[in-house]
Amino acid sequence: MRKPIVLAVLGVTTLLFGSMVTIPQASAASLPTEKQCKKAKNLDQVTQGWCVAITRKKGNCLACHAIEVKGWPKDLPAAGNIGPPLVSMKDRYKDRAKLRAQVWDSTVANPETVMPPFGRNKILTETEIDRIVDFLLTI
C-alpha cells in the first residue's frame, strides 16, 4: 500500500519542481522534454541544440533518427529509423564544418536523400543549426 503513495508523491514533486530546476547539460542525468524545452529559459548552448533537434516544429530529427545520448527523457516518444542513429558524432566528425554541412543541406552528399535541407530551405535558422551541431558534437 505504501509504495504507490510514495511514488505518487514523488511524481507530483517532480511535476512541481521539475520545471524550476536548472536544466542540465546534455551529459547530465536528464535532458528536457519538448514541453520543458518550450518553457525553459537560459539554457546552455548544448541543451538549446538538443531542444531544436527534438522539437517537432524545428529539427524533428527524432522522426528519422535515434539519438544515442545519456539522460534521455523517459516520456519522449521512440525515435524513427528512416535515417541512421546519430551516434559517436564527435569521433566521426573531426571536422565540424562537415557535420554542419550535412544538416544545412543534406542533398549535397546525397541528392536522393529524404532528409530535409534545414539550412538551404530555411527550416532552421543559422543559429539553430549551430546549436544542433554544438549538441551533436557532445555525443
| Binds ligand HEC by CB under 6 A, chosen from 84, 91, 94, 122 | 84
Binding of residue 45 to ligand HEC (CB under 6 A): no
CB 99 within 8 A of CB 133: yes
Binding of residue 83 to ligand HEC (CB under 6 A): yes
Near ligand HEC by CB under 6 A, which window of 8-16, 28-36, 69-77, 111-119? 111-119
CB 73 within 8 A of CB 54: no
> Residue 95's Cα: distance from chain center in Å?
20
Nearer to ligand HEC, 23 or 131 (CB): 131
* Cell of residue 3, nine digits: 509504495
* Cell of residue 23, nine digits: 536544466
Binding of residue 69 to ligand HEC (CB under 6 A): no
